[in-house]
Amino acid sequence: MENIKAGVIGGGSWGTAIAQHLTTNNISVDLWVYEKELVEEINNKHENTIFLPSIRLSENIRAYNDIQRVIEGKQLIIFVTPSHHTKSIADSVHNSLPEGVPVVCASKGIENDTLMTMDEVLHYVLPGRYHNYLAYLSGPTFAKEVASGLPATCVVASRNEEVAKQVQFCFANKSFRIYTSNDVAGVELGGAIKNVIAIAAGICDGARLGNNARAAVITRGLAEMTRLAVKKGANPLTLAGLAGVGDLVLTCTGELSRNRTVGILLGQGKKIDEILSGMKMVAEGVKTSKSVYQLAKKLDVEMPISEKIYQIIYEGLNVREALYTLMTRTLKAENEYSSPLV
């Protein structure tokens, strides 16, 4: 892979891990970092002690506070910003991105105000000449493990097959297997909603509700994810893949999951403000729970677990009361809906 230069927008844990991974394929990376103190640290010490500690970063990563410097002359652009900041950051470069190159979004979430997915956000913000080059990366990938070179798989979705293959080519190597998909809606919504379900799984662990309860949350959470995604035009089989059940299982059970950690602390009785004040990194499921709740109401999709997570976080609903309400709902057949998966 000669002469490929990438611009990664976002120096959090996942953005830094993606930058590190790309360098293993001999791709040089310019990394836009919001925190000024991190620029010097990454460039001089080759570390990101705030968001990805204990990882020695490649010297082929250069960090900048100047976003224009990061995107200029690149053959690959990747947005890895918190989902609620993606619109404003994309808007800041909407007329200066390089043309004719893949623009990948690796952020997972749904906007609170507009209920837009990241795909809808980028189509809204970016001029039409960029739309055919958009792609979306998702799947079961913890940043620390990817940056450490441990084996992982993910999926890149694009409506343009050639763009998906270009991204696949840039990312794939012996430790990172990447599949392509044309189901943008399924890949996006799976990656966003699983963070909400992971909070529910964490609550099960924090409240010591048992392994049975966590398995139930994962399984019925998958049904909720699939129902909403299908309503938005997704293929239900996508939710049975890497961006759906794969990412869901990882985020609901992995020790490195920030969303599961939020759930554990909620299950232990802590309040959401106290939890968030002690976190350096973003747990996307907190904001996404509000979006999912409102989007489900708008589209008339039944999502009882997601609804209870919203109520616990934003309305102060007691965890035990939420559990009782879920367990005593009207009894029904498992597969009442049109898709065999939901």
Question: What phi and psi values does residue 76 have, to the nearest 5 degrees?
Answer: -155, 130
236 and 341 Cβ atoms separated by less than 8 Å: yes
Distance CA 286, CA 32 (A): 25
Distance CA 107, CA 211 (A): 30
159 residue type, one letter? R
Instruction: Report CA torsion sign: 211, 215, 221, 222.
Output: positive
Catalytically annotated residue among 74, 194, 287, 290: 194
Residues constituting the chain? 342
CA atoms within 13 A on the CB side of 269: 1
Let me know if 194 is a catalytic residue: yes
> Among all residues, which ones are annotated catalytic?
194
